[in-house]
Amino acid sequence: MASSHSSSPVPHPSSGGSEGLFQKDRDPSSLHYRPIHSLPDVCPKEPTGEAARGLCEGPSVVADQHRWTVYNSKVNLPAALNDPRLAKRESDFFTKTWGLDFAETEVTPSFYLPNITKEHFGPYLQETAQREKIHERCKNICSNKDELDAVSSITNNHDKSRTELEQVPKIFMKPDFALDDPTTFNAVLPWSHFNSAGGKSSRDMASSRLLQEKLSHYLDVVEVSIARQISLRSEAFFHAMSSQHELQDRLTETARAVAVLRGRTAAIERIMCEGPLRALRQALTRSNCARLHNKLKLMAAVHQSQPTVQLLLSTSEFVGALELIATTKEVLQLELQGIHSFRHLGSQLCEMEKLIDKMMVEDFSMYSRSDLSRSLEDDGQVMEKWSQMQYKRSVSIKDRLESLVFGLLRQRKLDFLDIYSDEMILAAKSIVTQSVFDSVSQIEEIDTDIVTKLADQMRLMTFPQWFELLKSVFENFILFLKRIKATLSVVRNVVLEALDSNQKSRLLERAAAVGLTEAPGTPLNQEEAELAYLTHEGLFISDALNDAQLHLGASTGQEQSSTVGPRQALSRMDGCGSDSASGTTESSSSREHAFQPGGAAVSSSEDMMPSDLELGRVANNIQELLYTASDVSHDRCVKVLMARAKDGSLERLSSAEFVFLSQAVEGFVRDTEKLCCRRSVSLRGALQSQANRFVHRFHEERKTKLSLLLDNERWKQAEVPAEFQDLVNSIADGRITLPERKPQGTEERKPSDYLHIDGQKYAVVGTVLLLIRIFLEYCQCVNDIPSISTDMLTRLSDLLKHFNSRSCQLVLGAGALQVVGLKTITTKNLALASRCLQLVVHYIPVIRAHFETKLTPKQYSVLRHFDHITKDYNDHITEISTKLMAIMDSLFEKVLSKYEVKAPMPSACFRNVCKQMAKMHEALYELLPEEQTQMLFLRINASFKMHLKKQLARLGVHHDGGPQHGLVTVDVAFYTENVQSLRALEKLDLNMAEIWEQKR
């Protein structure tokens, strides 16, 4: 072994008992040494390549004890210890700079040696502490003279040798000195010392001799320096030689102990290890054979998976086939990965899975088409027979649908509801078409060969025929929506079961994570199960409570299966793979096992199932699809309604017919809203549009009728038929409706002269009687069609305004003279018009109260129209009263202007005034109530006194008891007697003394 800087690494066994190489990195301190030429290594170099790999494995102490190994090699230890290249004695000689690849590893402490600490050396240090102090004190007092001389000699020799070494050119000291380098060679041996022609002159010989001597001198200097270095280390060299014999003895003893140990180890191996190791090998071989047998059985089961999948598909067991494919793929990835014979099975299973996806989508489309297009006369909400599919087992279509929906969810085909939506729209169109065809086929008057369009055929029907068609369409759509809701309920239950399964799985995982010991078959808490369903936003609102109870009962009685791995699942399948009935039975129940948190299908397909968020979206889409079904049904009914209304036939309906139509539509809207929890607005909006047109025509007809009646009215008192008296009596009893028509043949009662209302008599014209019936028709229409209340109120207020303004034009404005041909507008006409207006004012609060019950609080603002109408009517009544006053006022002014105080008495002027007063009273007494008559005559009397007072002042008659005063007193007494003799004016206080009062 050599300890040079470039020596090769030496193999050495590790301290941990493993056989290999210790390699240590180069010591960075070696970089500071001056590079020198290395001597030949005493130790052979470490083998490389295959030899090194075998060496790393290490020799066996037992098997190789009698063979030569690397540990039998000998080392020239004195040569290594006396290496002159070392500058000083190295304490880590055996571990320092043994190659670039040498790496130190931590030595594992022995289990049989105690851990030596500083406390173990405590007693020894206490014993030697005193001696050490005395030794140090003596060492400091008496310094060694020889050591000082040696140090000074070494210093002087070192300086001298350093000076001599400096004479040697630096080129010889370079680490990369090599004579094969042309530059170095030319610097050491310049060609100038040699003849270029090859001849040898005396000068050249002298130069060569000088160069040789110079190089010899350099060599001597270096050798002397080397010798000096050796002499400086002679003491260490001889010290090593003295200890060499002791080391050899110890190595001999060690070799002898190692030989004994190897012998004992070989005996132990032969006696105690070979037999147990053989038993262990046989047990391992048996275990490997059992594993191989199980693997072969598993391979056989996997080999049977494809035929079993095809068998399941032949019976449309999609869920079972998908579960089997997922389990087989999991086994291939975990248990049979790398099996050459199954290298194509994974891709084949993926293709089969894609095929199953297409089959499930096509199957669901077929079911949707069959379910929605079957006859509506079938009472079953969920289809009982699926004629397009052939089943070998008697399983209900509901179970098949649930299995199909679960398969679609498992494959994340979350858009399958779009297929149902498309089929639903087509089925809604066909319902209308079939209903129209059935109705038209029963009507002989319509030739379907000539009239081919459905809208044209509906317009050719009479209203009763079309109304029966509309009711038939409504009934069919109600059955249609019930069928859709039943199917969507099945789909929704599957989605909620999947969501509940996910929640249960998370709860069990969370319980296992926190260390809760809960049996896998323990169901969830009832409150948690109920909360999971009631808080789920995908529920049908109308079925929330019932579904919560059903799911609560199901979760309470549910039993969960134990955990089964993919190997056991395939083992079961292998046991019954050849039996088609058994395989089908297992696959049919796979959906139930998949829902259970501890089931095998969950472990194999938990990543395949949609997340809670996706399942929530599907549940919301189911609810939205039910809303869409309601909207589609309403839209198709709107088509039927608008096809009939295109030529304006709905606007020409009678009130009763439109009421029937409105009630039918409202009933259909209520039924669909109760069924789907959706307030669809299209049909109600279409009806509202038609109602607005109906109200407009309704109002225009009655306004035109009222205008014609007013234009033909002669403003004479009309008799009141008994039916009108009954009508106002019913209004007084609170029934604001039109009375039912009495059958013909009943006893006819005589009409009366007045209309008796609340103890008052109303003398009226025929137009006002019909006006009462007209506004009752408005109120009746509002009762039947509440949606048109505001529009009808506006139209009724317009009608009442029209009556007021037109009657004012005809009576006060004397328009009746030209329209009807009256000769003059009499006081009787004016009084009759006033009384009719008072009758209308009496009923305005009744009408207002009736409409107020039909309006919402936000619509109460439209009631202000009645306040404006009441004010207009009262103003009109006041104007009529003023007109009557004006007639008498002009008469008094004309007559009293010619009054003269002279005999005979009573005068002709007063006789004429009393005569006109009697005529006025005769015209008004039968028309106006006593209170109004008295008030009117008080005003007339005031006007008479004013004009008489002016005339007396003009004539100069004073209250002085003279003859003229006496004549006036006689006339006034005659006037007072005549006025108070009129009926209802007996107690009228005329206060005639005011005619003599003077102005102050």
Cis peptide before 47 (omega within 30 of 0): no
Mean pLDDT of the chain: 75
**How many whole angstroms separate alpha carbon 389 and alpha carbon 367?**
9
Q: Phi, psi at residue 757, to the nearest 5°?
A: -140, 120
pLDDT for res 837? 94
- Cα dihedral 300, 302, 304, 305 in deg (nearest 10): 170
Cα–Cα dist 975/892, whole Å:
13
Amino acid letter at 560?
Q
Tokens of 286: 């048996």
Instruction: Work out the average pLDDT over 659-688.
Output: 85
Encode 177-235 in three state secondary structure.
CCCCCHHHHHHHCCHHHCCCCCCCCHHHHHHHHHHHHHHHHHHHHHHHHHHHHHHHCHH
Does residue 988 register a pLDDT over 80? yes
Q: Tokens standing for 29?
A: 């301190």
* Alpha-carbon 422 to chain mean position: 23
Sorted by sequence, the CB contacts under 8 Å of residue 891 that are 6+ apart come out as: 913, 916
Per-residue confidence at 85, pLDDT binned at 50, 70, 90?
low
Which tokens belong to 636? 């198709």
Neighbouring residues of 516: CB distance < 8 A, sequence distance ≥ 6: none
The per-residue pLDDT for 843 is: 93
Most confident of 333-347, 383-397, 696-710: 696-710
205: tokens are 């010989």
pLDDT at 252: 92
Whole-number pLDDT of residue 868: 94
- Cα angle: 590, vertex 595, 599; to 5 degrees: 70
Q: What are phi and psi of 382, to 5 degrees?
A: -110, 135
Convert the pLDDT of each residue in 176-209 to its tens digit: 888 888 888 888 887 765 554 455 567 767 778 8
pLDDT-above-70 percentage for the chain: 72
| CA 306/CA 329 separation, integer angstroms | 12
CB atoms within 10 A of CB 376: 17
Residue 270 DSSP one-character state? I
pLDDT given at position 797? 93
Measured distance CA(361)–CA(121) in Å, rounded: 87
Rounded CA separation 373/751 (Å): 64
Each residue's pLDDT tens digit, 91-110: 555 555 555 555 556 767 77
Q: How far apart are CA 695 and CA 42, in angstroms?
A: 127
The more confidently predicted of residues 393 and 706 is: 706
Distance CA 872, CA 800 (A): 10
pLDDT band at 145 (very low <50, low <70, confident <90, very high): low
The pLDDT of residue 584: 37
The predicted pLDDT at position 498 comes to 79
Looking at per-residue confidence, does 980 or 164 come out higher?
Answer: 980
**Among 905, 904, 909, which Cα is nearest to 892's?**
909
For the beta carbon of residue 814, count every other beta carbon within 10 angstroms: 14
pLDDT above 90 for 767? yes
CA-closest candidate to residue 345, choices 294, 317, 303, 312: 303
Q: pLDDT band at residue 578, thresholds of 50, 70 and 90?
A: very low
Q: Mean pLDDT over residues 570-594, rounded?
A: 41
Mean pLDDT for the stretch of residues 693-716: 89
Cα 794 from Cα 868, distance rounded (Å): 12
pLDDT at 541 (0 to 100): 37
Cα 787 from chain centre: 36
Q: Are 16 and 107 in contact (CB under 8 A)?
A: yes
Q: Are strands 760-762 and 755-757 parallel, antiparallel or unpaired?
A: antiparallel
CA separation, residue 3 to residues 28, 48, 96 (Å): 15, 20, 8
- Give the per-residue pLDDT at 548: 44
Model confidence over 814-836: pLDDT tens digits? 888 888 888 888 999 999 999 99
- Higher-confidence residue: 873 or 249? 873
Whether the CB-CB separation of 490 and 626 falls below 8 Å is answered with no
Asked if residue 97 lies in contact with residue 30, where contact means CB atoms within 8 angstroms, the answer is: yes
Sign of torsion, CA 451 454 460 462? positive
**CA separation for the pair 495, 142 (Å, rounded):** 103
On the 0-12 / 13-18 / 19+ scale of CB atoms within 10 A, 744 is: exposed
Residues 6+ apart with CB under 8 A from 192: 207
In this predicted structure, what is the pLDDT of residue 905? 84
Q: Quick one: pLDDT at residue 460?
A: 75
* CA angle, residues 254, 260, 261, in degrees to nearest 5: 85
362 vs 795, more confident:
795
pLDDT of the residue at 878: 93
**How close are the terminal C-alpha atoms of the chain, in Å?**
162
Q: Which residue has the higher pLDDT, 336 or 258?
A: 258
**Helix ranges restricted to H, 535-654:** 544-557, 566-575, 580-588, 590-595, 600-605, 612-645
- Residues 6 or more apart whose CB falls under 8 angstroms from that of 566 comprise 327, 330, 331, 334, 335, 600, 603, 604
Query: What's the alpha-carbon Rg for the chain, to the nearest Å?
Result: 65
Q: Higher confidence at residue 3 or residue 321? A: 321
Q: Compute how many other C-beta atoms are within 10 angstroms of the C-beta atom of residue 968.
A: 26
Over 309-354, what HEC string results?
Answer: HHHHHHCCCHHHHHHHHHHHHHHHHHCCCCCHHHCCHHHHHHHHHH
pLDDT above 90: percentage of residues in the chain: 17
Which residues lie below 8 Å from residue 960, measured CB to CB, with a gap of 6+? none
650's tokens: 């709905």
Between 264 and 513, the higher pLDDT residue: 264
Q: 623: which residues sit within 8 A by CB, 6+ positions away?
A: 538, 539, 540
Give, to the nearest 10 degrees, the angle between helix 305-314 and helix 580-588. 70
Q: Which fold has domain 712-739+750-897?
A: Tetracycline Repressor; domain 2 (1.10.357)
The pLDDT score that the predictor gives to residue 174 is: 84
Break the chain into its structural domains and give their ranges.
395-509+611-693, 712-739+750-897, 898-999
**Is 816:765 a contact under the CB 8 Å cutoff?**
no
Average pLDDT over residues 879-898: 92
54-68, 208-222, 423-437, 950-964 — which is least confidently predicted? Answer: 54-68
Q: What is the pLDDT of residue 393?
A: 38
Query: With 90 as the cut, is the pLDDT of residue 890 above it?
Result: yes
pLDDT in tens, 12-66: 444 344 333 334 444 444 444 344 444 333 333 444 444 444 444 445 555 555 6
Strands (DSSP E) along 754-878, which ranges? 755-757, 760-762
Mean pLDDT for 451-468 is: 74
The pLDDT tens digits for 212-262 are 888 888 888 888 888 888 787 777 777 777 788 788 888 999 999 999 999
**In this structure, are residues 440 and 455 in contact, taking their beta carbons and an 8 Å threshold?**
no
CATH class of 898-999: mainly alpha
pTM: 0.53
Phi, psi (rounded to 5 degrees) for 448: -70, -15
Other beta carbons less than 10 A from residue 484's beta carbon: 26
Considering 223-232, 726-735, 745-754, 800-809, the range whose residues carry the highest mean pLDDT is 800-809
Among all chains, which residue has been given the structure tokens 């089969």?
352
Reading the block at residue 448, the tokens are: 């379907």
Q: Is the dihedral of CA 871, 873, 875, 881 positive or negative?
A: negative
Task: Kindly report, residue by residue over 271-288, the tens digit of the pLDDT.
Answer: 888 888 999 999 999 999
d(CA 37, CA 178): 12
Pick the more confident residue, 195 or 337.
Answer: 337
Determine what percent of the chain falls in helix, strand and coil, rounding each to the nearest 5.
Answer: 70, 0, 30
498 touches 622 (CB < 8 A): no
